[in-house]
Amino acid sequence: MNPKETVPFLLPSLDEITLGIQRYAGVLHEQKSNRVLSEKISQIAKDVPTVLAPRSLLKKTTIIAFKKNTLTGECISIASRRLVSFVSSMNRPAFLYGFALTMGQQIDRLVAQCQRTSWSKALFLDAAGSFFVEHYADLVEKHLRNELSLQGFELSARFSPGYCDWNVGQGQTAISQFLMPQSIGIKISPAGAMSPLKSITGIVVAAASMPMRKPCAWCDESNCPYRH
């Protein structure tokens, strides 16, 4: 793997996009039969892919240490007691991968424009952006998992700043210094906010084996949507 690489973006089917918009917009089951609502979502599902500008970065580093509540790789340190406990449970943790990806600025602009004219359209556009950026993050994770399985490694689920006890501001600063996501158009504020809004940064860990893919056993956030 190159010091930095990109992962291709694969467009989901129209049906998958439509279902994704419904899910992220919180459309209730009984609302799905509403003809006007369905037509509006269908049109957005067709239109949004034309304005997306997906870009990604992926970078690998060797894990040097995981103690004193800090996971340390070459050129990056992550302060998270729960993440360290998670990594400590793995058999021979070897690598850490940092990633950044974005859908570009145009989807943000469209949402902002529609907020002045149609809140429902703005809601569905925003939901579409959320679906696409999470879909891209899934593609990055799947790409790595397939690549590493051929090398005899297992891969954790992705872990982003703000998850568990990883401070958003400190986490985004660490990833920014490691990856330089500004090279793909992502700007990160000192507090950790990202622009474009439909962007994701995070890390995954590779090890010889791991008892679980998520650090949920060491986390007490019972309402977390990523808990299992």
Is 226 among the domain residues?
A: no
Is 7 among the domain residues?
A: no
Burial of 126 (0-12, 13-18, 19+ CB in 10 A): buried
Label residue 227 by pLDDT band (50, 70, 90): low
Is 142 among the domain residues?
A: yes
Q: Across residues 151-174, what is the average pLDDT?
A: 94
Residues 6+ apart with CB under 8 A from 151: none
Give the whole-number percent of the chain exceeding pLDDT 70: 93
Domain count, the chain: 1
CA–CA gap between residue 34 and residue 27 (Å, rounded): 11
Q: Which residue has the higher pLDDT, 162 or 31?
A: 162
CA–CA gap between residue 23 and residue 80 (Å, rounded): 31
Evaluate if residue 25 carries a pLDDT over 60.
yes
In CATH, what number is assigned to the domain containing residue 155? 3.40.109.40
CA–CA gap between residue 212 and residue 215 (Å, rounded): 8
Is 101 among the domain residues?
A: yes
pTM for the model: 0.91
Evaluate if residue 1 carries a pLDDT over 60.
no
Number of C-beta neighbours around residue 1 at 10 A: 12
Is 8 among the domain residues?
A: no
> Could you tell me the residue range of the domain that residue 88 belongs to?
14-218
Is 197 among the domain residues?
A: yes
Is 145 among the domain residues?
A: yes
CA–CA gap between residue 209 and residue 212 (Å, rounded): 9
Evaluate if residue 30 carries a pLDDT over 80.
no
Is 66 among the domain residues?
A: yes
What is the maximum alpha-carbon separation in the chain? Answer: 57
**Cβ burial 40-72 (10 Å sphere, 16+ → b, else e):** bbeebbeebeebbebbbbbbbbebeebeeeebb
